[in-house]
Amino acid sequence: MSSNQYCPSLTHYERLKTLEVNIGSVALGNALPIRIQSMTTTNTMDTKATIAQSLRLIESGCDYVRITAPSISDAKNLLPIKLSIRKAGYDTPLIADIHFTPNAAMTAARIVEKVRVNPGNFIDKKRFEHIEYTDLAYEEELEKLRLKFIPLIHICKEYGTAMRIGTNHGSLSDRIMSRYGDTPLGMVESAMEFVKICEEEGYKQIVLSMKSSNPQIMVQAYRLLVHRMMQNGPVYPLHLGVTEAGEGDDGRIKSSVGIGALLEDGLGDTIRVSLTEEPEKEVPVAQKLVARYRKRKRHEIDGKIPALSINPFSYQRRKSRKVLNIGGEQVPVVVADFSLKNKISKYDLESIGYSFDTLNDKWNIADATADYIFSNHQIIDFESAPGLGIICSANIWAENHEPENHFPFFNIYQFLSATKKHSKMNVVYATLPDLNKELIKQLDADKTVVLLIDTFHEHGMAEQRALFYQLEAAQSQIPVITGRAYGDLNTEQFQVDSSVDLGSLLLDGFGDGIFIAAENCGTDELVNRTAFGILQATRCRISKTEFISCPSCGRTLFDLQQTTAAIRAKTNHLKGLKIGIMGCIVNGPGEMADADFGYVGSGPGKVTLYKGKEIVERNIDSASALNHLIRLIKTNGMWSEPGHDA
Ligand code: SF4
């Protein structure tokens, strides 16, 4: 096994073989179909509402339903809920979600088919303090953990109940934080402490998860976990999810980027897409993600692929040279596909962020504006928006006497034999089979070349990743725009597919730009929004405020959807700011991990505001909480009026 192996293969699609875990009637792992789950948002003590929502989730296609059990009473109430679901004719396994209350876990483990514990708060009360632990003090903490945890293991063994040890980036214990920090390694160690105790007790009905609201951290943590299990065994099944992904496009894109990057490498046995929407809306997104792999075959990528050239457990962007505004240290560019338009007009540019103000004869430029359009056979004959480049076919470019702001687009052989080339930038189209070491060398010698790469392979992400490996092996620093084409997809499927395909590469540090050709998948505006959403989700280019909002559950203290919408309406223009919107103070502060500001439910009608991890205003009336949040952002110098840059 290579020193950084984390999946069965980087060149063909293959599921990671894991132990099989029995969860009631629906077993998990061991390359069984990838299971879909979601979580109720009702108050667990509201038996009727929880039963009704569970049934809706089951009917929409959930293989498991998770229900929060914050107290022993909630845990006990799982019994009538379960009995009613069985009476309705469904044997769908139920999962109890536990935080902070081992007694509730022990009650639930006697009733439902699986319990989820969070190693960060099963025993430890989080104080957000950095405590220096001696080896002895650390061992004593672990002993306390053992004493509280072993009774739960024994109940699970007795009742045949499975367990998810679900680590969250934002809620690591002070003990783990002090030794490993807020890192993927800390997340893995946190779960492994619990796994070790389970194994010592001869219990292996375990599922593991490593969630974060930051897909980069989440992907690295899962990879590191699998690497560790592949080295030391056994390999337990994985539950995948991005926490607090948010709502709408953002939630779908962020979840698809994080979950999809792992599914592409054959990791993941059950997934939960968490959206700040009705939980039934999560299921179709999860189904679309899983469907991508149902028929994916073991197609090997042709040719010899150089060994893994990156460290998959941390983020480093591939080194590329700067060609105009592409490559080097610059943010990845977005290239919009206008090649199918009959005649491009200046009003078409509105869809990609440039609106022409006829009255004042000037361009207004939004935050998410594409950097280039691919016009193929057209020359733009109007005065284009400032900063917008046009990539057109090399022949048209030459025939039209090299028009301003236009850059020629070649295939490799056309480029190598061309007599006319742009003095600053030439875009060269390539797929993996087109390239070899000698051609890469020739292209690399010309410092004006930018590659626009494509794929027709069924496992396209892996083929494009292999192309990046080839470039790395040849020590080439040619900047690369990653291109993907889609046709005839509905909006959600388009967003899922493009986010997985392009986001996976960006998370590996690959790519200096993205180009999405989407025929009959939605408007140009949607495609542009999706491209910027993918760059934002992978943290490669921040073009808007990021909302880290929890999906809500039985603990939620306010209407999350309405509150998120109200906060979004006032702060959406604060580019780069991260705002956490959390339904409860029990888990919220931990879950929002790296938010700049937090808006957290702390009692009925009460909100507590955070700056980073620190409370700045406690228990404000929810009616005025948004104004307080705005004032807090202003006091910290991070506010700008809409229409002005922060
Ligand atoms: S943060 Fe949100 S989803 Fe998490 S426990 Fe609290 S209310 Fe539930």
Among residues 246, 264, 294, which one ends one of the domains? Answer: 294
Tell me, yes or no, whether 532 and 552 share the same domain: no
Tell me, yes or no, whether 256 and 159 share the same domain: yes
113 C-alpha to ligand 1 centroid (Å): 22
In a domain, 64, yes or no: yes
Tell me, yes or no, whether 337 and 215 share the same domain: no
Q: How would residue 386 be classed by pLDDT, with cut points 50, 70 and 90?
A: confident
420 C-alpha to ligand 1 centroid (Å): 60
DSSP code for 339: T
Q: How would residue 126 be classed by pLDDT, with cut points 50, 70 and 90?
A: low
CATH of the domain at 579: 3.30.413.10
In a domain, 360, yes or no: yes
Does ligand 1 have an atom closer than 6 angstroms to the CB of 353? no
pLDDT digits (tens, 9 = 90+) for 388-431: 999 999 999 999 999 999 999 999 999 999 999 999 999 999 99
The closest-lying atom of ligand 1 relative to the alpha carbon of residue 70 is: 5
Is residue 9 packed enough to be buried (19+ CB in 10 Å), middle (13-18) or exposed (0-12)?
middle
- Give residue 646's pLDDT: 36
Tell me, yes or no, whether 290 and 355 share the same domain: no
Among residues 510, 537, 564, which one ends one of the domains? Answer: 537
In a domain, 341, yes or no: yes
Tell me, yes or no, whether 527 and 583 share the same domain: no
Tell me, yes or no, whether 281 and 345 share the same domain: no
User: What 3-state class would DSSP assign to 310?
Assistant: coil
pLDDT digits (tens, 9 = 90+) for 317-353: 999 999 999 999 999 999 999 999 999 998 999 999 9
E strands in 344-458 = 354-357, 362-365, 372-376, 389-393, 406-411, 426-430, 449-453
Does ligand 1 have an atom closer than 6 angstroms to the CB of 555? yes
Which helix or strand (DSSP H or E) is residue 470 part of? helix 460-473
Tell me, yes or no, whether 515 and 571 share the same domain: no
Does ligand 1 have an atom closer than 6 angstroms to the CB of 116? no
Among residues 267, 294, 321, which one ends one of the domains? Answer: 294
Does ligand 1 have an atom closer than 6 angstroms to the CB of 551? yes
Tell me, yes or no, whether 559 and 515 share the same domain: no
CATH of the domain at 288: 3.20.20.20
Does ligand 1 have an atom closer than 6 angstroms to the CB of 591? yes
pLDDT at 127 over 90: no
Does ligand 1 have an atom closer than 6 angstroms to the CB of 553? yes
589 C-alpha to ligand 1 centroid (Å): 10
User: What 3-state class would DSSP assign to 429?
Assistant: strand
Mutate to test the pocket of ligand 1, among 550, 564, 602 (most ligand atoms within 8 A of CB): 550
**Can you name the residues that pair with 620 across neighbouring β-strands?**
607
631 C-alpha to ligand 1 centroid (Å): 25
370 C-alpha to ligand 1 centroid (Å): 36
Mutate to test the pocket of ligand 1, among 118, 247, 558, 586 (most ligand atoms within 8 A of CB): 586
User: Cβ distance 35 to 26 under 8 Å?
Assistant: yes
**Structure tokens, 2:** 């290579």
In a domain, 323, yes or no: no
What mean pLDDT comes out for the span 88-108?
A: 94
592 C-alpha to ligand 1 centroid (Å): 10
In a domain, 530, yes or no: yes
E strands in 27-63 = 28-29, 35-39
- Give residue 162's pLDDT: 98
Tell me, yes or no, whether 249 and 126 share the same domain: yes
The closest-lying atom of ligand 1 relative to the alpha carbon of residue 97 is: 5
The closest-lying atom of ligand 1 relative to the alpha carbon of residue 585 is: 6
pLDDT digits (tens, 9 = 90+) for 279-296: 999 999 999 999 999 888
Does ligand 1 have an atom closer than 6 angstroms to the CB of 554? no
In a domain, 552, yes or no: yes
Which helix or strand (DSSP H or E) is residue 257 part of? helix 248-264
218 C-alpha to ligand 1 centroid (Å): 19
**Structure tokens, 57:** 């989730």
Tell me, yes or no, whether 346 and 400 share the same domain: yes
In a domain, 387, yes or no: yes
Tell me, yes or no, whether 213 and 347 share the same domain: no
424 C-alpha to ligand 1 centroid (Å): 52
Does ligand 1 have an atom closer than 6 angstroms to the CB of 557? no
User: Cβ distance 335 to 513 under 8 Å?
Assistant: yes
- Check the CA dihedral 589-216-124-554 and report its sign: positive
φ, ψ dihedrals at 326, nearest 5°: -115, 135
Could you give the number of structural domains in the chain?
A: 3
Does ligand 1 have an atom closer than 6 angstroms to the CB of 587? yes
Determine how β-strand 578-582 pairs with β-strand 546-549: parallel
Domain enclosing residue 577, as ranges: 546-635
Selection from 496, 494, 487, 493 nearest residue 520 by Cα: 487
pLDDT at 298 over 80: no
User: What 3-state class would DSSP assign to 94?
Assistant: strand
Q: Look at 234 and 174; give whichever has higher pLDDT.
A: 234
The closest-lying atom of ligand 1 relative to the alpha carbon of residue 582 is: 1
What mean pLDDT comes out for the span 218-222?
A: 97
In a domain, 5, yes or no: no
Tell me, yes or no, whether 43 and 121 share the same domain: yes
